[in-house]
Amino acid sequence: MKHFEYHTTSNCEEHPRLLILDGYRSHLTLEFCQYVEAHNIVFFCFSAHSTDLLQPLDVGIFGPLQRFYGKTADDHMRKTRTGVVKGSFWKLYSAARSAAYTPANIKVAFRKTGIYPFNPDAVFSQVPAYSRTVSSPLKHLTILKKPHNRRDLRQQTHLANDLCSEVIPPQQLPPSAALRRGRTRVYAIPHAK
C-alpha cells in the first residue's frame, strides 16, 4: 500500500485514486480499509474467477513473462549444458522480467482489459454469448422421481425417450434395441465397452 501511495500521490493530490485488487480476502483487512480511507484511495475488487479476463497482469504481462523466461532458460541450458539452479534463477528471471515488463506491454494489458482507456466492450467481446438453445439437464430430473399416477408415468416416459434420443438418435440404434408399444417408445441403450 505504501508503494502505491508513494507512486500515485503526486499525480492526484486532491482526487481519489483507484486501486484495483484481485479480490482475495487476505487483502481486505481492517488495517487496509482504514489506510485507503485515510489516504483518499478507492479500491475495487474483481469478482471471483474473472482475473483471466480482467486483471492486466494476467492478460498482458504474465504470458510474455512466461515466454521470455522459457526462452532465457532454454538459451542458458544450451550454452552451459546445465539446468537452472538457485544461483542462476534470479539472473535469468530478471532478464525475462525486464523484457516482459515494458511500458508497451503494460499499456496493451490495460487496453485489453478495458481499464484504460475505459472500454467495457473490450472484455465483453471475449466472452462467448449465452445460447438459449442448449437443453438443460435439469428438465430431466423429474425422471428420477417416483410416478404417482399414469399421467406422471407417461410424462416421464416421454422425457426419457427425449433424453435417449439426444444421447443416441433412434435411427442409430439397432432394430432389436427399439421396442414400440402403442404410442410409447422405449429404447434400450447399449453399454459402452
Kindly report the pTM of this predicted structure: 0.58
From first to last of its 193 residues, the chain has per-residue pLDDT tens of 788 888 888 777 778 888 888 877 777 888 988 998 898 888 888 877 788 888 999 999 999 999 999 999 999 999 999 999 999 999 999 999 999 999 999 999 999 999 999 998 888 777 765 544 445 554 444 444 555 666 766 676 666 666 555 544 555 544 444 444 333 444 444 444 4
Report yes or no: 76 and 88 within 8 Å, Cβ to Cβ: yes
Q: Do residues 76 and 84 lie in contact, with contact meaning Cβ atoms separated by under 8 Å?
A: yes
Residue 1 in contact with residue 35, Cβ under 8 Å? yes
Q: Please, is 97 exposed, middle or buried when counting C-beta atoms within 10 Å of its C-beta (0-12, 13-18, 19+)?
A: middle
